[in-house]
Amino acid sequence: MAQIISALGVWNTSATKHTALEDVQGIACGSVVAALGLYCLASAGLLTGSTAGIAFLLHYAFGLNFGLAFFLLNLPFFYLSWKRLGIGFTLKTFAAIGLTSVLTDMQSRFIHIDSIHPAWAALIGGLLLGFGLLALYRHRASLGGVGILGIYMQERFGIRAGLVQLVIDLGVLAAAFFVTAPSVVFYSVLGAVALNLFVTVNHRADRYIAM
């Protein structure tokens, strides 16, 4: 028991490197929360930004499996992750993307939302995604795509990861005008703003250093 408590860092009072067990629970919990956020958005037919947004577009326009599309779209970003952020970050991100993809596809087996207002779905979905990403960022992982670029820009140039994501996410959502109704885009933008502002405010290198 003492070894488990030590591995989880329960009694640590100083800034120490995350243990492997801490990373496992952080990535697992972050992926579960992020998958729930994606399910809330999907239940209202909404979109989000980054590669998840593109995966939603492919799902809505062509009926492609969201989890598979999300996983495949992230593969090219692993090169940037491996070259600029290291093999540890890359492997943990790969695990987070794979787990989130599987959990998102499995959500309907455990939960079913019959009705939800798109504004509430956007807010809750965006905040849940933000919480999930924050957990992953603090354990040196991400959900790939723009998340990888955002982490790199923050660590290399000091530009907040949330702001980088917000700019790119709005571009992805602008493309949604070609495949969905304007009201869907409007509520999706609300979700993207909630997500990225949450990450911008809470993910700061001067307050929390992931190790």
Give 3-61 pLDDT, tens digit per residue: 554 555 555 555 567 788 988 999 999 999 999 998 999 899 887 777 777 887 888 77
Q: Is 86 helix (H, G, I), strand (E, B) or coil?
A: coil
pTM of the model: 0.76
Residue 100, sorted as left (phi over 0), alpha (psi -120 to 50) or beta, turns out to be alpha
Give residue limits of the domains in the chain: 20-202
Out of 29-38, 77-86, 132-141, give the one with best mean pLDDT. Answer: 29-38
**Alpha carbons 117 and 65: distance in angstroms, whole number:** 24
Residue 75: helix, strand or coil by DSSP?
coil
The closest alpha carbon to 92, from 1, 41, 25, belongs to: 25
Return the amino acid letter for 199: V
Model confidence at 202: pLDDT above 60: yes
Q: How many CB atoms lie within 10 A of CB 56?
A: 28
